[in-house]
Structure 1
Amino acid sequence: MLDLNIKDETSKLLAVILGTAKSCGPTPKPEEAYDPKSLEHILAGTYPVEADMVLEMDAFEKVLNKYDVQIFRPKILKDCNQIFSRDIAFVIDDFFFKANILPDREEEYLAIGDVISQIAPDKVIILPEEAHIEGGDVMPWNEYIFIGTYTAENYSHHITARTNKIAVEYIKSFFPNKKIKSFELRKSTNARENALHLDCCFQPIGNNKAILHKNGFLVEEEYQWLVAYFGKENVFEITSDEMYTMFSNVFSISQEVVVSEKSFTRLNTWLRVKGFVVEEIPYAEISKQEGLLRCSTMPLIRA
Structure 2
Amino acid sequence: MVYKGRFAPSPTGPLHFGSLITAVASYCDAKANQGKWIVRIEDTDIPRIYPDSEQHILKCLDAFEFESDVEIIYQRNRLDLYHAAIEQLKQKQLVYACECTRKMLGSNHIYLGTCREKHLDFTNQAIRVKVSDQNICFQDRLQGQHCSNLITDLGDFVLKRRDGIINYQLAVVVDDYLQGITHVVRGADLLDNTERQIWLGQLLGYPQLEYMHLPLAMNAQGQKLSKQNLAQALDIQYAPELLSQAISALGQPSIEIDQPHKMLAQAITQWDIRLIPKGTEIQRIFN
TM-score bin, normalised by smaller chain: under 0.3
Higher helix share: 2
Q: What TM-score do you get using the length of structure 1 for normalisation? A: 0.27
TM-score by length of 2: 0.28
Higher RCO (C-alpha 8 Å, min separation 6) = 1
